[in-house]
Amino acid sequence: TLGNALRVNYALKEIRVEGNEIGNIGAWMLVDSLGENEHRTSAVEKLALGWNDIGLEGVTGIADALKANSKLRRIDLTGNNICCKGAQALAESLSYDLSLDELILAENNIKDEGAYAFALAMGKPTCTLHTLVFHDNPINSDGLASLQRVPQLRRNHQY
């Protein structure tokens, strides 16, 4: 399986598994294999899992994997069923992950609580995430305003 191959991967840099309805179990299996690489030397830097019916359970697995993976630079989770609790789990993982630069969460069911969690996480000095794509989520103006304050939070932490 793909999961078994990823456990010994030293060359594959990008995985695109979009629109395959892998769901929560498939997402768990895929990211679990990235975290269990024999020598933690997985080469995968980009992971595209858009339109796969991934919900809270799957995104929680992705968040857990981020805590143990130092190679992933970009994750695309467009068009899944990620809710606020899933967004909060991802945001929490940003305190552990020191490599993720871009996270795409467009067209999910993330509301203000998820936006607030990302704003707080991205404002911390340990967060390396620079690009967060959040469009087409039911976030109101307060949630968007909190995300727009992230650069100021980062500046405040520097000084």
What value does the mean pLDDT of the chain take?
Answer: 89
Whether 5 has a pLDDT exceeding 70, the answer reads no
pLDDT given for residue 44 in this prediction: 86
Q: What is the mean pLDDT of residues 101-126?
A: 95
pLDDT given for residue 95 in this prediction: 85
**11-20 tens-digit pLDDT:** 788 999 999 9
Whether 83 has a pLDDT exceeding 70, the answer reads yes
Sorted by sequence, the CB contacts under 8 Å of residue 35 that are 6+ apart come out as 64, 65, 68, 69
| Whole-number Å distance between alpha carbons of 78 and 48 | 8
Q: How far out from the chain centre does Cα 118 lie?
A: 11
**47-76 tens-digit pLDDT:** 999 999 999 999 999 999 888 887 899 999
